Amino acid sequence: MAYRLRHLNEERVIAVLKAATQKANWVASPSPKGGNARNGRVTGRGVACVAYEGGNGYIALVAEVEVDQASGQVQPKRFVAAVDCGSISNPDGLRNQIEGGVLQGMSRALAEEITWDDRKVTSTDWQSYHTLPLGIPTPVIESVLVDEPLARATGAGETAITLSAAAIGNAIFDATGARIRQVPFTADRVKEALAARG
């Protein structure tokens, strides 16, 4: 977070970053987290922020995850999102947009992937294109609504989708010291990254 604050100059992004990390009780520490075992289950937290489409909404997202280093499974436990979409006319609707966006972004980050063979796309239906299944353990999602009553209304739901993978990826790195740069963060990709860490 400190690195981002040193290099950001967009005041609205700075405001949502501070709001999200304050709500998440962020404590400055080196990443990856020191003292985590190289086996078993470990936890980490990550943050990401964006001025969506250069100014069509502002969001910061903190992700807390648990990584099972034996199986490679990543389980998000908690998200804290702070959103500035200008003037807020419907707070409950905005919270719904944030929660839906975070869950869709989580599905993209952990499961969704287009596949193809040497001629065509092969993930053409719900049997071959995988999303997170119904009934998964749902993480806690907390929203901080940053109201800017004099600003024009901007996007809300899509903003959360765009940075879920970044926040989750940073949390995986914090937990394990393994940096994963290709989504989705499948169990196999996580195990491969864990095996490659120094």
Q: Is the pLDDT of residue 135 over 80?
A: yes
Q: Is the pLDDT of residue 54 over 90?
A: no
Using CB atoms within 10 A of its CB, is residue 134 exposed (0-12), middle (13-18) or buried (19+)?
exposed
Q: Does domain 2-114+125-196 have CATH number 3.40.50.1980?
A: no
Q: Whole-model pTM?
A: 0.93
- State residue 59 phi and psi, 5-degree precision: -150, 145
Residue that has been written with the tokens 């196999």 in this structure: 188
Q: Is the pLDDT of residue 96 over 90?
A: yes
User: H-helix or E-strand containing 61?
Assistant: strand 58-68
- Where residue 23 falls among pLDDT bands split at 50, 70, 90? very high
Which of 78-87, 113-122, 164-173 is predicted with the least confidence, judged by mean pLDDT? 113-122
Could you list the active site residues? 158
Domain boundaries, the chain: 2-114+125-196
String of DSSP letters for 90-118: -HHHHHHHHHHHHHHHHHHHHT----B-S
- Where residue 129 falls among pLDDT bands split at 50, 70, 90? confident
Q: Which of 31-35, 100-104, 129-133, 154-158 has the highest average model confidence (pLDDT)?
A: 100-104
- Read off the pLDDT of residues 161-189 as tens digits, 9 standing for 90 and up: 999 999 999 999 999 999 999 999 999 99
Sheet holding 41-51, edge to edge: 41-51, 58-68, 74-84, 140-145
